[in-house]
Amino acid sequence: MKSSRSLLVLNTVAAVAILIAVYLALVQAPEATNVVEEIRPAQRIIYFHVPSAWISMVAFFVTFIASILYLRTNNVRWDIWAYSAAEIGIGFTIAATVSGSIWAKPAWNTWWTWDPRLTTYTIVLLLFIAYFMLRGAIDEPGRRARFAAVYGIFAFLSVPLTFMSIRWWNTIHPVIIDPSAEFGLGPGMSTAFFFSLFAFTILFVDLLANRIMVAWDEERVAALREALTAN
Amino acid sequence: MKRYFQVVWAVLWKDLRIELRTKDVFTSMAVFAALALLIFNFAFELRIPDKSMVVPGVLWVTIAFAGVLGLGRAFISEKDRGSLAGLLLAPVDRSAIYFGKMLASLIFILVVEAFILPLIVVFFNVPLITAPLLLILLLGTIGFAAVGTIFSALAVNTRAREVLLPVLLFPVLLPLLIAGIRTTIGLLEGQSLAEHANWLQLIVFFDILFLVVAFLTFDYVVEE
């Protein structure tokens, strides 16, 4: 079982990377000095909030590409990739939305605003949920995979348009990567920030690899059950 | 190429003729839209200084809800009568069937819009019927029908059927609704269409993008 051994290595690397990221974010990174005293601890959410948001987009993109590949090749592997990534994406989208909301309370003095990014992530969550509702409503595996792939493509393509339209409507979200903005990260902070991004990406790859393994097992079980009931 | 348009026309004409005979879709959409306007009227009556302020939202939400009702029927009636299989057996490019169905849905929604616009003018006392606004409505409805038709074909082949359609459709449709509402607000405040060029571009881009994607993927939705 060579694949399970490499999975073990990946699991270990992901766990260590996340532990280091937690240490860097909570202990090593300096206090933010460009925000008022009360929200300085809350500012540390950035090391988890932004990577979660990043991963949910990566997951959505994987679903999108896998959906196209599925329609092109009709290979069940890409369907597995698509829904595995979407499942992980739901988790990270919820994490990004909830952590953002917790941060917004001290920073913006409200749990919720109709800010472009926040709203876009809510829509992304709804798209993911719709994706799984569609899957859940179809029994025949081939059709389920095909329909989900078509929906995955439409859903992913609509996200940038949603984001743009809400952005044109109004915005108060801090732009972190823009160097000209005053919300930029200090020197010690960017190490923690980028390491955290890296660690979350490893975590995503690890979760995806595990989920895909489980999905193949599920396929095998379903095939066995079919063979048994047929006899 | 000529043959392709003949197929589109044949599917479109078939749907229009069925509708002219039964009037099922139009009646339910129009009555639903009128009821929605009535409810909106009472929902906002005493809560806001001037009812005309909510007209852009009322207009687009009513169209979206009434439209989804009609789109749901686009494939359900075909499926129930077993005529979808017949349609798919025809030796024609299936995307032509998509465009025929899409144009039929587009026309149904446009007719309903033609019905509710005067109603809004009467109920909410707002001069809605202007050329720029009709253009935005037309462009928005094209995108609506483009995505709605293919999602209707998806939904009809699931267990949940019409219950699923709005859940699938509205999150994808959101940029269109936002752009439509925003432009309508601007136009009602007396701004020109040119001041909303970016919104107009967004709507046109949405229409083209999803018409192309639907054209490319429709085969996979009706494949048996």
pLDDT of residue B29: 92
pLDDT of residue B46: 65
The pLDDT tens digits for A80-105 are 999 999 999 999 999 998 888 888 88
pLDDT of residue B96: 92
pLDDT of residue A62: 96
Contact residues, chain A, for B160 at CB < 8 Å = 133, 137
Under DSSP, the state recorded for A32 is: P
Using CA coordinates, name the residue in chain B closest to A170: B182
Is it the case that residue B30 has pLDDT exceeding 90?
yes
Instruction: Tell me the three state secondary structure of residue B224.
Output: coil
* CA atoms of A59 and A95, how far apart (whole Å): 13
8 Å CB contact of B168 and A151: yes
Contact residues, chain B, for A158 at CB < 8 Å = 171-175
8 Å CB contact of B217 and A133: no
Contact residues, chain B, for A138 at CB < 8 Å = 157-159
| Between A138 and A164, residue with greater pLDDT | A138
Is it the case that residue A68 has pLDDT exceeding 70?
yes
Pairs across A and B, CB distance < 8 A:
87
Compute the average pLDDT of residues B164-192. 91
8 Å CB contact of B223 and A165: no
Which of B75, B150, B163, B174 is the best residue to mutate to test the A interface, defined by the most A CB atoms within 10 Å of its own CB? B174
Percent share of chain A, pLDDT over 90: 46
Return residues 151-180 of B near A (CB < 8 Å): 151, 154, 157-160, 164, 167-168, 171-175, 178-179
Is it the case that residue B9 has pLDDT exceeding 70?
yes
8 Å CB contact of B171 and A126: yes
8 Å CB contact of B157 and A154: no
Return residues 96-125 of B near A (CB < 8 Å): none
- Tokens 């809350």 belong to A42
Is it the case that residue A175 has pLDDT exceeding 60?
no
- pLDDT band for B165, please (50, 70, 90 cuts): very high
Give the closest of B164, B199, B206 to A134, CB-based: B164
The pLDDT tens digits for B66-119 are 999 989 888 888 888 888 888 888 888 889 999 999 999 999 999 999 999 999
pLDDT of residue B79: 84
Is it the case that residue A121 has pLDDT exceeding 80?
yes
* CA atoms of B113 and B97, how far apart (whole Å): 24
* CA atoms of B184 and B60, how far apart (whole Å): 9
pLDDT of residue A179: 43
> C-alpha A195: how far from its chain's center?
17
Is it the case that residue A1 has pLDDT exceeding 50?
no
What average pLDDT does the structure give for chain B? 90
**Residue B38: CB atoms within 10 Å:** 12
- pLDDT band for A181, please (50, 70, 90 cuts): very low
Is it the case that residue A177 has pLDDT exceeding 70?
no
Compute the average pLDDT of residues B28-51. 84
Query: What is the domain partition of chain A in residue ranges?
Result: 45-186+207-230
Is it the case that residue A182 has pLDDT exceeding 60?
no
Contact residues, chain B, for A151 at CB < 8 Å = 151, 154, 168
- What does residue A9 show for φ and ψ, rounded to 5 degrees? -60, -45
The pLDDT tens digits for A5-36 are 888 999 999 999 999 988 888 888 777 666 66
ipTM of the shown complex: 0.90
* CA atoms of B36 and B103, how far apart (whole Å): 25
Residue A131: closest CA among A147, A119, A143 = A147
